[in-house]
Structure 1
Amino acid sequence: MEDLAAVFDPQGMFDFPDPYPLFTELRRTSPVTSFQFLKRLAYVVTRYDDVRAVLQDGETYSSRANAEVGRYMGRTLIEMDGGEHGRMRALVQGAFGGRTLEALVPTIEALAHERVDRLAGDGRADLVAQFSLLFPLDVIAGILGLPRSDHAQFQRWSLDLIAFSKDPSRAHGAAERLREYFLPFIRLRRDEPRADVISRLVTGTVSGVGLTDDEVVSFLRLLLPAGAETTSRLLGSMLYALLAERERLARVDADRTLMPWAIEETLRWETPVVFVARQTTRPVEIAGTPIPSNTMVSTIIGSANRDETHFDDPDRFDLDRRAEDHLSFAFGRHFCLGYHLAKLEARIGLTAIIDRLRDLRFDPAEPAPAITGLAFRSPRSLPVRFDA
């Protein structure tokens, strides 16, 4: 078996080619195993039932393991537990409910078509660089009600912040600039609310108490990696899967009722976020392995979603699979607030591409694309050709 400390080295996670053979071996031989991560003891959990149980038990497995993210985002939902988490979630979840998002559909559709319009006449494109990377950031800016003239600068700051694990100094600078940028909008929306997400965040209350300016800023910053980046990766991996065997794309084009299942299967087959960290609050035992208190437990979502005891033929991308019980949006009290938005964007984005870019195919003159990464997975580029 590979040295897990080397596998989970943060500097090597971005280019990791294919972790699934390792995950299969771990599930079979060492479903819960320890390794040294950044000079501290950590455990990985790889089987579906065990991963689900850890994510469901917020009392035993604390989210404070994610406190590192707070250095860049501020204190956010993903590191909160108990009553603090419940209060914050109650305050922000209304901004991402189904009814709220339905009102945003025309805005999201217009943004998708605008992105496709920019490349449709060329006959070739990189669908990551020119669409899946930028469209989700367009959507975040749009639903926040930011001026169109600011979108390009907002995207630059956002991309710098999202890359905090690669360039911490640059990310810190972007975080501060985003704070300075957001604060005037927050104060304006307190005085003059509109039909946008910032207004919903600043006007919502629980027991008469709302969010402070800094709490709103932290949540808005978290939207970038938690909302925009994960959706970008979902779109990229879905397009890759459909183009890798073009009969899949043809089926979805001919029968749009398959589109939601293409999204669900992509989330299962290549989850954007491969593992989620927790920290034990007491000594525990998982699958016969004792784990001390105050120890990091890394649930490998990408392994759970390919557990052969839960999913048939799990390494195969199957449009006819109806596997809505994947764990890509986590489980339990920390189930992803933005799952409606992510799937809505994926559906609208894929529809715009299929409708406009006919005879879509990989560009044979370019290197074959591949999905890579360990902490986060998606293709870095998707060079394609199509009828102009």
Structure 2
Amino acid sequence: MTVIDQIGIDALGVPEIDMASLDMRFDRKAGCDALRDVGPVVLVNGWYHLTRREDVLHALRTPEVYSSKKAFDMLGSPLPLVPISIDPPDHTRYRKILQPFFSPNALSGMLDSLRGQAIDIIDNVAAKGECDVVTDVAVPYPSQVFLTLYGLPLADRDKLVAWKDAVIELSDKPTTEGADLTPALELFGYLTEAINHRRENPGPDILSQLMTGDGALNDAEIMGLSYLFVLAGLDTVTAAIGFALWRLARNPELQAQLRADPEQVKVFIEDVIRLEPAAPFMPRVTTTPITVGGIVLPADTPVKLCVALVNRDGSDDTSTDDVVMDGKLHRHWGFGGGPHRCLGSHLARMELTLVIKQWLKRIPEFEIQPGANPQIEWPANVYALTGLPLRW
């Protein structure tokens, strides 16, 4: 069992711990178990973490009590990150507008292009006999997908990745005082130019479609959606690709099973998202006093919903700490839940399916390079492997 640095008990009677003492870097099971064992509400770095399934699901489904808007206001986002930083009923309008563009039917028109891009990236590493999956596959591919959806040049991929990394690093700092804001301004300018160009020259891409027809978004709304897409959508898919190939690299039998029956890839992907959700702790702020685990949390209390814990809490046969490959798609909360459930979940599944299927077609049995011990950066707001060196 992990030894946790418990700082004390706060004024509400909530145990407080040091997040860095949770053993998440190499073993999410140990870290999740340790955090859950502290109690139903745990204070970590100023946020009250809800660790029990019933409390997390209630919060996901009750935006009138647990506000996403208040959470993002607190985090200081300079843009309205549409739709995650907006609560119902306004949120409902945005979901109604945006959902059709991210449905499986709408995305199917891009399937051939996205498959071809996955093949090109994987073919580029296949002949080498080794690669770092995070650097060579998981980072570039989601960025190309974003550019494709927005009708922007794939040649801009590396610039986009650099801007994204720099802006995320800025957002993780307590203050931007003295920080280099150039990457954020350059990304803003790039997206502004793309929006202006599409207003004058609309095409079949999602960006053009969001500007026309009933419920068209204004420039500020489109910019907020674009920033959310870049800063949240790219890293989450990058993380999921890394975790999927990490689990396969450690399990030759599972590799063989998926090669023999590619239809089971979708089952595997769903369970990877359950076990390794890229966004393990979802921020909210209470709007009214609420009792959780015997603790009364006042209005305006910052909370985080520990979906990573409830996905593997052992409450049923499919909430385990191992991949469940029984041929069925099981419910989980790796994409969140309630009205703020991830808008891009269908797109993420499509990207993951394309990468895993094409990888298994082109790469023979593969393994983690000897001596490597893949880990996530921790503490962090996102689960993601820092690297994954493989060989074949």
TM-score, scaled to structure 1: 0.89
| Structure 1 residue 162 displacement after superposition | 3.2
| Structure 1 residue 289 displacement after superposition | 2.4
Question: Which letter maps to 2:312?
Answer: R
| Structure 1 residue 267 displacement after superposition | 0.8
Instruction: Name which of structure 1's ranges 349-358 and 145-154 shifts more when overlaid on structure 2.
Output: 145-154
Which residue in the other structure is 1:8 paired with?
19
Structure 2 residue 269 is matched with structure 1 residue 260: no
| Alpha-carbon distance change, 349 to 384 in structure 1, aligned in 2, over 3 angstroms | same
| Structure 1 residue 13 displacement after superposition | 9.2
Preserved contact between residue 73 and residue 222 of structure 1 (Cα < 8 Å): no
Which residue in the other structure is 1:194 paired with?
203
Query: CA-atom RMSD, angstroms?
Result: 2.5
Q: Unmatched 5+ residue regions in structure 2?
A: 8-15
Instruction: Name which of structure 1's ranges 45-54 and 169-178 shifts more when overlaid on structure 2.
Output: 169-178
Preserved contact between residue 72 and residue 175 of structure 1 (Cα < 8 Å): no
Alignment of 1:117-156 (within 5 A): 117-156=123-162
| Alpha-carbon distance change, 303 to 107 in structure 1, aligned in 2, over 3 angstroms | same
Preserved contact between residue 27 and residue 46 of structure 1 (Cα < 8 Å): yes
Q: Unmatched 5+ residue regions in structure 1?
A: none
Which residue in the other structure is 2:107 paired with?
101
Question: Which of residues 33, 36, 44 is equivalent to 1:24?
Answer: 33
Which residue in the other structure is 2:51 paired with?
46
Question: Which of residues 45, 61, 67 is equivalent to 1:37?
Answer: 45
Preserved contact between residue 61 and residue 338 of structure 2 (Cα < 8 Å): yes
CA distance in 1, matches of 2:337, 2:231: 19
Preserved contact between residue 265 and residue 321 of structure 1 (Cα < 8 Å): no
Which residue in the other structure is 2:61 paired with?
56
| Structure 1 residue 19 displacement after superposition | 4.7
Preserved contact between residue 81 and residue 227 of structure 2 (Cα < 8 Å): no
Structure 2 residue 375 is matched with structure 1 residue 370: yes
| Structure 1 residue 326 displacement after superposition | 0.9
| Alpha-carbon distance change, 36 to 22 in structure 1, aligned in 2, over 3 angstroms | closer
Structure 2 residue 212 is matched with structure 1 residue 218: no
Preserved contact between residue 133 and residue 388 of structure 2 (Cα < 8 Å): yes
Q: Percent identity?
A: 27
CA-to-aligned-CA distance 1:71-117 (integer Å, 9 cap, x gap): 35544322211232222222322221222100010111111112112
| Alpha-carbon distance change, 103 to 277 in structure 1, aligned in 2, over 3 angstroms | same
Which residue in the other structure is 2:12 paired with?
none
| Alpha-carbon distance change, 173 to 284 in structure 1, aligned in 2, over 3 angstroms | same
Preserved contact between residue 145 and residue 196 of structure 1 (Cα < 8 Å): yes
Instruction: Name which of structure 1's ranges 263-272 and 81-90 shifts more when overlaid on structure 2.
Output: 81-90
Preserved contact between residue 130 and residue 389 of structure 2 (Cα < 8 Å): yes
Preserved contact between residue 271 and residue 302 of structure 1 (Cα < 8 Å): yes
| Alpha-carbon distance change, 2 to 332 in structure 1, aligned in 2, over 3 angstroms | same
| Structure 1 residue 22 displacement after superposition | 4.4
CA distance in 2, matches of 1:318, 1:304: 16
Which residue in the other structure is 2:13 paired with?
none
CA distance in 2, matches of 1:7, 1:201: 43
Alignment of 1:1-388 (within 5 A): 1-3=4-6, 7-8=18-19, 16-28=25-37, 30-33=39-42, 35=43, 37-38=45-46, 42-63=47-68, 64-68=70-74, 71=77, 73-166=79-172, 172-206=181-215, 210-312=216-318, 314-320=320-326, 322=328, 324-364=330-370, 366-371=371-376, 373=378, 374-386=380-392
SS of alignment partner, residue 27 of structure 2 = coil
Question: Which letter maps to 1:185?
Answer: A
Preserved contact between residue 72 and residue 164 of structure 1 (Cα < 8 Å): no
| Alpha-carbon distance change, 212 to 45 in structure 1, aligned in 2, over 3 angstroms | same
| Alpha-carbon distance change, 320 to 352 in structure 1, aligned in 2, over 3 angstroms | same
CA distance in 1, matches of 2:75, 2:151: 25
SS of alignment partner, residue 195 of structure 1 = coil
CA distance in 1, matches of 2:79, 2:136: 26
| Alpha-carbon distance change, 305 to 261 in structure 1, aligned in 2, over 3 angstroms | same
CA distance in 1, matches of 2:34, 2:368: 32
CA distance in 1, matches of 2:389, 2:72: 35
| Alpha-carbon distance change, 113 to 323 in structure 1, aligned in 2, over 3 angstroms | closer
CA-to-aligned-CA distance 1:221-257 (integer Å, 9 cap, x gap): 1102321110110110011111112111111111111
| Structure 1 residue 165 displacement after superposition | 3.9
CA distance in 2, matches of 1:350, 1:216: 31
Preserved contact between residue 97 and residue 340 of structure 1 (Cα < 8 Å): yes
SS of alignment partner, residue 379 of structure 1 = coil
SS of alignment partner, residue 299 of structure 1 = strand
| Structure 1 residue 7 displacement after superposition | 3.1
Preserved contact between residue 13 and residue 375 of structure 1 (Cα < 8 Å): no
Preserved contact between residue 161 and residue 171 of structure 1 (Cα < 8 Å): no
CA distance in 2, matches of 1:57, 1:72: 25
Instruction: Name which of structure 1's ranges 368-377 and 302-311 shifts more when overlaid on structure 2.
Output: 368-377
CA distance in 1, matches of 2:365, 2:318: 32
SS of alignment partner, residue 381 of structure 1 = coil
CA distance in 1, matches of 2:266, 2:289: 41
CA-to-aligned-CA distance 1:189-239 (integer Å, 9 cap, x gap): 223321111112211433xxx321121111111102321110110110011
Question: Which letter maps to 2:64?
Answer: E
| Alpha-carbon distance change, 60 to 311 in structure 1, aligned in 2, over 3 angstroms | farther
| Structure 1 residue 70 displacement after superposition | 5.1
SS of alignment partner, residue 285 of structure 2 = strand
| Structure 1 residue 308 displacement after superposition | 1.2
| Alpha-carbon distance change, 14 to 183 in structure 1, aligned in 2, over 3 angstroms | farther
TM-score, scaled to structure 2: 0.88
| Alpha-carbon distance change, 179 to 165 in structure 1, aligned in 2, over 3 angstroms | closer
CA distance in 2, matches of 1:2, 1:311: 32
Preserved contact between residue 201 and residue 211 of structure 1 (Cα < 8 Å): yes
SS of alignment partner, residue 320 of structure 1 = coil
Preserved contact between residue 361 and residue 385 of structure 1 (Cα < 8 Å): yes
